[in-house]
Structure 1
Amino acid sequence: MEGALLRLTCKGAQKLVNNFWEANNIDHPFNEEKKAARKDWVFSLLKSQKRILSFPKPDGLTILSRLSHSTSPATEHFDALQHITTEEKLKPSRIFNLDETGAQNIH
């Protein structure tokens, strides 16, 4: 998520913890149906490890506005885009811009 310039949310942490435990064949009390750790478990982890873990409040900035305020994330974004397009041998006509309103071809 961080590589995509997104913050880790509580739901994301719940799924991440569940995936880690299942990938390592660790018995866990989590909901098999939801494939996620319980909220109380995540919050108790946050409480016990508050020096290193936290969920910052959302700041309301979109990824594009975050990119426009700093060159470093923008550089990282376009480096990642170049890596993916090279690795997957994608043509520009196969790259789309997606948001809440729909998709646009941006070649």
Structure 2
Amino acid sequence: MATRMTINGVSTCTEAGTEKYERFQSGIGRRKRTLVQYDYRHTDGELFTCVKPTLDECRTARNKWLNAKQGKEATDEHDLSNADSQIQRTYRGIGRYL
């Protein structure tokens, strides 16, 4: 199958904030299904890719991924501020067993 979305298995979606998609058929004989391969390159450079029956479903999955990513970034900042106290508690706990 020829594809414009990959070159040697690497996504051609390289610009930050862009999306690419293409439709393809999967299956044999009467069981063929049309699916959409979707790539989205986030502004931080991370690639989101999925295969779904419709473009709308792909974009919905991308939006869920973006929301989870934003939530994760917010909790990562909080986790870093508490990292020192967590390390100190761990060492105190280990010290009891030594």
TM-score normalised by the chain length of structure 2 = 0.23
Greater Cα radius of gyration, structure 1 or 2 = 2
